[in-house]
Structure 1
């Protein structure tokens, strides 16, 4: 394998990296070859030092996807990072598949949360609409207290959900970074 083929494999492997960043990465690897040539090394020695281009591309994709999670915080970026990390090792594949099934088990509760909390918070509007339709004389103090209780509970649940999501995302990013560190240490052996 020569320099051009090595760089071509890396370029082909780093798919979800924007064009400017991809060019910077390729220029960096090109500079490794140039400095290797200055040290009187041939392509084979330089490639051996840099590592397998397919694994290098997988690592670049994983690091880039973690960066996107920290920047965007979207479901798409989380799944993209999970699949990039899965490509690093078989252990990650099983761990992420198990995590996915646990997520599927919890999905009904998550969906119920996303439906119930807004309804609780906006329950005064529902009560007003019921008053307009049925007449305000049909609304009693028990209904008003139930609405107040629903609003307070909805706000509390919204805050709890926000902090759970925030810390879950931090935990996920820490796990993904740890995975990349472990992968880099394995690569050094």
Structure 2
């Protein structure tokens, strides 16, 4: 990070948010850095882990999976998840013939109750426009190559409907527990721009931890 990152004022509305945060710190209402820490936890730990548990449960429980695909809103209530703004949740299953990916072309509607805060790129204009026009190329830029014999479907979220992708279960995990499966599910695999980790990739991550 350059020194300019600390001196250049952020763009509105980020400027207003920063002003409120600064005022709360000055008045002793919050500790410096507390908001950033909470955002980090919700974006990269708590939020995506909720969705990962939903995916792992669906991989293990065929009944739950059927209910999830039939009515995502109601099925998610079984695991204590509901849309705080009243939006419906639709779960999109990836298969050997179909790969799903989600976007919000008009703004940045996002299933944050199951995935946490949206990544910056999800809200960017290039992603919102290009994923609709050239999805395979954009996915390839994420490192996700989809074979030509699989259809790529792009779903556009809005104020009434949020989408979440149910990725395919990795091979070699037949005897894995739910907690082990949770570790394979990435945030991007539930957006559709990525894939779950493979068992080999998990071993490598643990070895370098």
TM-score by length of structure 1 reads 0.28
Q: Which has the larger radius of gyration?
A: 1
The structure with the largest helix share of the pair is: 1
The structure with the largest strand share of the pair is: 2
